[in-house]
């Protein structure tokens, strides 16, 4: 007799239903698993049969055939162990078939029948709710994550035997519940705060503008000047995640297996800081069945690239599409999919190979050609997508000794939120435009107007400072954000003047230090 058990898996960051069909028949004893299983699924045979035996069940000596439908989608992960085991037991007549109806099962089995956590539970739970399947059985460690979905009855289980006991006494057991709002509130605090940063008033102001307009930033300064410290505190001044955004971020980390065990919901904006030896597949995602890369793990948050010129050129070039489009498309021979990747890029670099060109207390031994070669490792197209370039100088001993705290992140965040609200209202009729950084050339003409005085100021700056043509639109967008921070309807000359100061790499700034 064929038994059918409902399970699910994920493709990209979305779930899809999988029907586990089990047939025990007469013939040569054997175990056949079909339905495009990958290696971890194929290896379920030994785990499942050992778990059944060590849970006290004696299977009849028969031919076992298992199909994972639909058969044309690749199945991965160990989450099918539990539904396969229950299907075999039901087909063998060792448990009643009716207790498996209108229920979904997910979980990896150990050899002694215990259940281990699996990846991708949140997208699976959201799918089951959408499909009208009310009950989900998952390992205990996954229960909080699954219970984030309202209206879904989640039952945490410890072992195969424990699962069967719950199934037989379902009416007497209350489903697992979590207070999603309370969890969101508790987990939405940041450890880092801008009040801990000494000095660097100019850099903090630039990062506030970047946060207010969603602009990408490049910080240039000697080692130890505080570039990493500043970058780590940027999420604390960004507008708080909405619950919907938090669920979207959690889905990405759930399928990638990077969800912290103590955090069923990611309520703070992600901060990702990959090492400069990362591959292009690690940056944008990849694999036979593509997995999210760093650009997707930083979705709705910050991607920090320290020592920017040390990254491989091909790794930096793959950033261009996600920076432009807010998503990344990955194509393979057998499949292609897209992951969201709308993030704020913050990069840091030394001003020269030795790092001490701009440090007045240390001597730089780099030649002009070495410095030029070093700064030009970053391509023009990538610089086109970075609106703000700022110098972060080394702190003086007096600044380091200063015991006075800086402005706290909470106060900066209030100004950022106000500026973002102005932008949301301004672009409410434009699809996919949420901040000034998203404007293309057509929308800049439509939404950013400047008077003759501001226009002359930009043209004069381009002529005297040697700014490139690409700097023009960047200056306009930055001026608009600075005006928004002041709640000014019109862009004024001092807004433009400040924006011009944030285009360091548009001129060969290092010449002034030689």
Structural domains of the chain, with CATH = 2-178 (3.30.230.10)
Structure token digits, residue 469: 């043509």
pTM of the shown model: 0.91
Strands 63-69 and 344-349: unpaired
Task: Work out the burial of residue 307: count CB atoms within 10 Å of its CB; fewer than 13 is exposed, 13-18 middle, 19 or more buried.
Answer: middle
Q: Which residue has the tokens 């949420």?
A: 434
Helix (H) or strand (E) holding 34: strand 30-34
Q: Can you point out the beta strands (E) in 92-215?
A: 103-105, 108-109, 115-116, 135-139, 153-157
Residue 248 CA to residue 256 CA, distance in Å, equals 13
CB distance 218 to 348 below 8 Å: yes
Q: What is the pLDDT of residue 227?
A: 95
3-state helix, strand, coil in the chain (%, to 5): 45, 20, 40
Per-residue pLDDT at 512: 58
Calpha distance 496→154 (Å, rounded): 56
Torsion angles phi and psi, residue 469, rounded to 5: -65, -35
Closest listed residue to residue 205, CA positions, set 219, 192, 191: 219
Position 170 scores a pLDDT of 65
In the sheet where 63-69 sits, what is the strand order? 30-34, 63-69, 14-25, 2-11, 103-105, 135-139, 153-157
pLDDT lower than 70: segments of the chain = 170-172, 333-334, 506-514
Cβ neighbours of 433 (radius 10 Å): 18
């Amino acid at each position: 007799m064929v038994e059918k058990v409902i399970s699910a898996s994920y493709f990209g960051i979305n779930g899809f239903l999988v029907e586990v069909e089990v047939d025990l028949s007469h013939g040569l004893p054997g175990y056949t698993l079909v339905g495009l299983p990958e290696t971890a699924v194929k290896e379920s045979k030994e785990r499942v049969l050992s778990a059944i035996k060590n849970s006290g069940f004696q299977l009849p000596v028969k031919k076992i055939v298992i199909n994972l439908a639909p058969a044309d989608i690749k199945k991965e992960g160990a989450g099918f162990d539990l539904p396969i085991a229950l299907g075999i037991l039901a087909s063998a007549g060792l448990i009643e078939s009716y207790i498996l109806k209108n229920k979904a099962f997910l979980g990896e089995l150990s050899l002694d029948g215990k259940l281990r956590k699996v990846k991708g539970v949140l997208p699976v739970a959201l799918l089951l709710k959408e499909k009208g399947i009310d009950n989900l059985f998952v390992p205990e460690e996954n229960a909080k994550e699954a219970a984030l979905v309202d209206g879904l009855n989640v039952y945490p289980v410890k072992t195969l035997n424990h699962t069967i006991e719950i199934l037989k006494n379902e009416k007497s057991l209350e489903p697992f519940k979590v207070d999603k709002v309370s969890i969101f509130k508790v987990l939405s605090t940041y450890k880092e705060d801008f009040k801990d940063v000494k000095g660097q008033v100019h850099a903090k102001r630039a990062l506030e503008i970047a946060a207010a307009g969603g602009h990408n930033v490049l910080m240039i300064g000697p080692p130890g000047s505080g570039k990493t410290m500043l970058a780590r505190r940027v999420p604390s001044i960004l507008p708080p995640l909405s619950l919907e955004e938090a669920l979207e971020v959690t889905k990405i980390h759930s399928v990638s297996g990077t969800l912290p065990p103590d955090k069923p919901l990611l309520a703070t904006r992600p901060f990702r800081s990959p090492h400069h030896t990362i591959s292009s597949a690690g940056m944008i995602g990849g694999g036979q069945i593509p997995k999210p890369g760093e650009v997707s793990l930083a979705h709705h948050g910050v991607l920090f690239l320290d020592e920017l010129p040390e990254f491989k050129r091909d790794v930096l070039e793959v950033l261009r599409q996600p920076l432009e489009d807010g998503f990344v498309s990955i194509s393979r021979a057998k499949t292609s999919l897209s992951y969201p990747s709308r993030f704020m890029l913050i990069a840091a670099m030394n001003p020269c190979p030795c790092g001490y060109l701009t440090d007045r207390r240390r001597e730089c031994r780099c030649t002009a050609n070495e410095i030029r070669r070093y700064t030009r490792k970053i391509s023009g197209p990538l610089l086109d997508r970075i609106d703000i370039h700022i110098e972060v100088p080394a702190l003086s001993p007096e600044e380091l000794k200063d015991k006075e705290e800086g402005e706290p992140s909470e106060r900066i965040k209030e100004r950022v939120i106000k500026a973002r609200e102005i932008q949301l209202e301004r672009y409410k009729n434009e699809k996919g435009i949420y901040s000034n950084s998203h404007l293309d050339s057509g929308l800049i003409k439509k939404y950013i107007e400047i008077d003759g005085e501001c226009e002359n100021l930009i043209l004069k700056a381009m002529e005297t400072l040697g700014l490139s043509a690409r700097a023009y639109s960047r200056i306009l967008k930055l001026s608009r954000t600075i005006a928004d921070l002041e709640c000014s309807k019109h862009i004024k000359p001092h807004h433009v003047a400040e924006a011009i100061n944030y285009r360091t790499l548009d001129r060969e700034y290092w010449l002034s230090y030689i």
